[in-house]
Amino acid sequence: MQLTDLTAARLLDGYRKGEFSPVEATAEALERARRIQPEVNAFVRLTEEDALARARESEERWRRGEPAGLLDGVPVTVKDILLLRGHPTLRGSRTISEQGAWDEDAPPVARLREHGAVFLGKTTTPEYGWKGVTDSPLTGITRNPHDPARTAGGSSGGSAAAVALGAGPLSLGTDGGGSIRIPAAFCGIFGLKPTYGRVPLYPASAFGTLSHTGPMTRDAADAALLLDVIGAPDPRDWSALPPAPGSFSEALKGGVRGLRVAYSPTLGGQVAVRPGVAAAVRRAVARLADLGAYVEETDPDLSDPVEAFHTLWFSGAARLTQRFPPRLRQLLDPGLREICAQGSRYSALDYLAAVDVRMGLGRRMGRFHETYDLLVTPTLPVTAFEAGAEVPRGSGLRRWTGWTPFTYPFNLTQQPAATVPVGTDGDGLPVGLQLVAARHRDDLVLRAAHALYEAGQALSGLVRPAGS
């Protein structure tokens, strides 16, 4: 048995029974991280010394029968957008200096620390998390575990690759327009963008209330466990939600029988979905029906809000870099420089018009969920394309939003949305199914995803490196 193959839940069970220790699990995860790094480039840095020290402390607590919390001794990774005390957070950018105290944890990192988790290191991101693939001037290209010639997706691409390859079963990602769900779908793992405010953010994102933090894991059960830990209020985030009314792990037991599921394969003909993707998603939807869900093929009232999203997203990027002197601007990813320039040209009235579009979309989705518990779509219309490109070659698209039409609308509405790996296309590349629920119904998303895993419809989310 390789400990890198095990989920967080299985590791915790093994610690409890004395089958293996946090030190052993951490050492194996670190070795796996070192092994995969040259090919996939998932990490900005490994925090090996700190990880082993925390693992030894955890091992002693388990020996005494006094674990510190729900994730004591579990190896985790953190996207290099989120603060990790004692280590630089460079956000994929050459504009940030490593010098400084770095003496704070982001809220979800603080909760993980309180619960005894072991931090393996920081994972790669495009600069400031601005796009749906992971490459940056600072760290280069992050590659797909299933085919290193292809992208891992982004912006949480390092986290997705690390989880898929066994370098820790849990990772913290961020999602402002699909940045958890895109790489999770491309890499064949589970990813959840919770309801906005369920996981507190600090410092506040320049992209405002589009940006969420959430779990990236091998299955829905691990994501529920992680959300039980990180979904707690923090005084540094004034928009954080109060504690959840119950345990997300307990909510997994409900299954899908009797749930009302709307299946929208193309958002009413707005999206061209590749046949291999469409077929895998349709098979999984049929399985939901077999499990007792009431499935209807129908579409939400969702005209493409991409221009409103661009106004909000590009304005956030412009604000982020507003005070950069020319020498720092020259260090930026050229694509990021381009959207910053576009964002700086929007007026306050343009921004407020985009907010109006957002509010209208949210209102329509609220009404939609009076009829349907869940909306199911493909996570993406394509599978992973060539690494190092923002858009698929020959697609004629200009920006990453051109191939992510199923993801960014639900950042505008702040709804919980998850991707579940439900098969592969003709090239053996993972296909994701997206589950969306009304705001505050993260439990329904997790329940339905867990049901697919329990039924054997979802993939394991694990890729073994050659020779393992």
Which residues contact residue 432 at a Cβ distance below 8 angstroms, ignoring those fewer than 6 apart? 181, 184, 185, 186, 378, 379, 380, 419, 420, 421, 422
SS3 222: helix
* Residue 258 CB burial class (10 angstroms; 0-12, 13-18, ≥19): exposed
Instruction: Select which of 58, 79, 93, 171 is catalytic.
Output: 79
* Residue 5 CB burial class (10 angstroms; 0-12, 13-18, ≥19): middle
- Is 155 annotated as catalytic? yes
Interhelix angle 220-230/107-114, rounded to 10 degrees, is 100
How far is residue 85's CA from residue 102's CA, in Å, rounded to a whole number?
6
Q: Do β-strands 147-151 and 140-141 pair in parallel, antiparallel, or remain unpaired? A: unpaired
| 442's tokens | 């993260």
- What does the radius of gyration of the chain's CA atoms come to, in whole angstroms? 20
Instruction: Select which of 58, 155, 249, 315 is catalytic.
Output: 155
Instruction: Select which of 58, 93, 171, 179 is catalytic.
Output: 179
- Is 247 annotated as catalytic? no
* Residue 64 CB burial class (10 angstroms; 0-12, 13-18, ≥19): exposed
How far is residue 14's CA from residue 168's CA, in Å, rounded to a whole number?
15
- Is 468 annotated as catalytic? no
**Residues taking part in catalysis:** 79, 155, 179
